[in-house]
């Protein structure tokens, strides 16, 4: 059985999401793991990153040792870099961009996601949380909702037949990317379109509760 470190898991997920983003588009990166996608977007993709706290032209959160402007942060609340020509604005305009359908995609983390594309990413029963943030708007405003998540949580499936905790949005997710697989959300089932060759297809499917079909054009994910 292959064991990956958290750093390796995040890198595989972020790299494969970056590879699958549409060129010449506006993309929102959510809090946490999704922000790492910025590190793997290539200049030739011409992707403009949006942060819902009021920034177009984000270039990824600051890495340890890099200099930064403490007044410029991403939606994760961390200091972030920005490209030449970036624009800063208030939350009203930022959410106008989201609600107006101007984002090609958003990349969001989640606690649970299911085969209908339902997303539950803002609360843990019995624990105090600050709320769903911009995820509710992003799930219905972006044309594609890409879920970035570990395949399981302490051995328990995160990809379910039906979400068990309160939903952020219904029928929102269009794609799910884990360290082991890429699933396309179809009509009440998931299509396995790419897999990590470190794992067998049978193992990958056994660790989700959702109904899964395997694509006739199944491909391998990037793993390095």
φ and ψ at 168, to 5 degrees? -85, -40
Q: Does residue 52 carry a catalytic annotation?
A: yes
CA distances from 70 to 61, 66, 73, 91, 108 (A): 12, 12, 7, 19, 24
Nearest to residue 174, comparing CAs of 107, 111, 223? 107
Among the listed residues 36, 52, 112, 179, the single catalytic one is: 52
Nearest to residue 175, comparing CAs of 129, 139, 201? 139
What DSSP element (H or E) covers 15? helix 6-20
Q: Which two tokens stand for residue 53?
A: 């706290």
Catalytic residues: 52
């Amino acid at each position: 059985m292959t064991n990956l470190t958290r750093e390796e898991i995040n890198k595989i997920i972020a790299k494969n999401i970056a590879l699958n983003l549409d060129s010449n588009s506006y993309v929102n990166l959510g809090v946490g793991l999704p922000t790492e996608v910025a590190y793997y977007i290539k200049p030739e993709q011409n992707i403009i990153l949006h942060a819902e706290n009021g920034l177009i032209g984000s270039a990824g959160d600051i890495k340890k040792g890099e200099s930064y402007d403490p007044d410029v942060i991403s939606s994760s609340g961390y200091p972030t870099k920005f490209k030449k020509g970036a624009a800063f604005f208030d939350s009203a305009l930022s959410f106008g961009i989201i609600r107006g359908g101007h984002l090609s995609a958003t990349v969001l983390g989640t606690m649970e996601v299911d085969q209908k594309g339902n997303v539950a990413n803002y609360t843990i029963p019995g624990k105090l949380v600050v709320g769903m943030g911009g995820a509710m708007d992003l799930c219905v405003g972006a044309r594609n909702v890409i879920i970035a998540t570990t395949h399981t949580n302490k051995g328990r499936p995160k990809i379910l037949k039906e979400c068990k905790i309160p939903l952020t949005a219904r029928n929102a997710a269009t794609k799910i990317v884990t360290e082991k697989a890429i699933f396309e959300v179809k009509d009440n089932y998931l299509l396995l379109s790419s897999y990590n060759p470190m794992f067998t297809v049978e193992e990958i499917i056994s660790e989700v509760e959702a109904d899964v079909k395997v694509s006739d054009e199944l491909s391998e994910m990037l793993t390095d």
